[in-house]
Amino acid sequence: MPRVSHRRLRQLVGRFRGKKLAVVGDVMLDRFVRGHATRLSPEAPVPIVEVKDFAGELHPGGAANVAVNLSALGSAATVFGVVGQDSAGQELQASLKRLGIPTRGLIADPLRPTTEKLRITSGHLHIARVDREQRDPLRKSVQTELLERLQRALPRVAAVVISDYDKGTLTDHLLKVILNSCRARGIPVFVDLKRWRAWEIPATLVLVNERRAVEMTHKDIRDRETAHAVGRQLLEALECEYLVMTRGPAGMMLFDRREVQAGAPDSGAPIRDVKSRPWEVFDVTGAGDTVLATLALSFVAGATLPEAAELATHAAGVVVSKPGTATCSPNDLLESLHVLMHAGRGRTGRAQR
């Protein structure tokens, strides 16, 4: 795939500020307890982690982290989801407010706990994760209230981002109503797909990682050609305009419905992918949320699919180079583009423009 212009990418980043997006999905609280493991327990072959603070570091997770990423990139993001009437729900809402993200789209349900993930680490080593969650579908009355709050916000948003962690928030009914409402208003919808769903209304863009793509299609991925076949199958089944399949160190594979339909029946469209950069990886927590946020915001700013994917690759590289659930700012993104541009100048004698 031809390289995109660095000047054009920098212009797109400059258009991020103030774009209004709504994020709907499974919100959660990420808690990090950091310590030092120097010995094994005499009770079981597990490390003993000595910590100074059992409360740990708190960060919005799941759909809330997508909103945090959008906000960090300059967007005016609002998150819609469900928390429990518990301390974790209060901590999550307080954390969002500190980051300047409105919480009017969050409903406190007394009959379910706030989804919480506790990660215990020693240095850069992830020792254990403890989850508290209830994955039953939302009660109908809660779904109705959530939809009413979102419907009131739709006239003011440029896009809707759906963050599905399969925790029960995004029922089939809820998704159907959201997609119908957005289509009626001409609002693009970007979805992070965690499990197979048969939608009556196609989304604008679907993001899926390679492992889940294999689970959904029941086909193995051995190389670029088989990955391309799996992606095309998902694109055709979901009927979305665009599909982006993340492949870890192999980068991303991009699918545009118009290009696929225009391709030869036996070969389809050419394989389009974005290579991953050689980042030093500290923690991949939340990287998928960063990719989803950057793709959606880039499209709203006027990016093409390759441009949006290039920016998302850079943003993901920034966050995995930081510990914990991290975000990427416009300055981070511009610095990453600057580094790559100068690396290209070193190889070719001049920067690509």
Sorted by where each begins, the domain ranges of the chain are 6-27+61-113+135-344
**The tokens of 295 are what?**
């793709």
Strands 20-25 and 27-40: unpaired
Q: Measuring CA to CA, how many Å separate 88 from each of 85, 214, 217? A: 8, 34, 37
Residue 352 has a pLDDT of 38
Q: Cα(164)–Cα(166) distance, rounded to whole angstroms? A: 6
> Are 40 and 46 contacting, i.e. CB atoms less than 8 angstroms apart?
yes
- pLDDT digit string (tens) for 80-101? 999 999 999 999 999 999 999 9
Cα 270 to its chain centre, rounded Å, is: 26
| Dist CA 292 CA 315 (whole Å) | 10
Q: What is the DSSP letter of 264?
A: B
Phi-psi region of 284 (alpha: psi -120 to 50; beta: other; left: phi over 0): alpha
Does the reported pTM lie above 0.75? yes
289 is catalytic: yes
User: Which residue in this structure is represented by tokens 């030092």?
Assistant: 36
- Which pLDDT tens digit goes with each residue over 149-196? 999 999 999 999 999 999 999 999 999 999 999 999 999 999 998 877
What dotted CATH number matches 6-27+61-113+135-344?
Answer: 3.40.1190.20
- Residue 316: the pLDDT is 87
Catalytic residue among 30, 164, 283, 289: 289
* Greatest alpha-carbon span in the chain: 64
Burial class (CB in 10 A: 0-12, 13-18, 19+), 56: middle
309 pLDDT band, cuts 50/70/90, is: very high
Percentage of residues in the chain having pLDDT higher than 70 = 88
Predicted confidence band of residue 3 (pLDDT cuts 50, 70, 90) = low
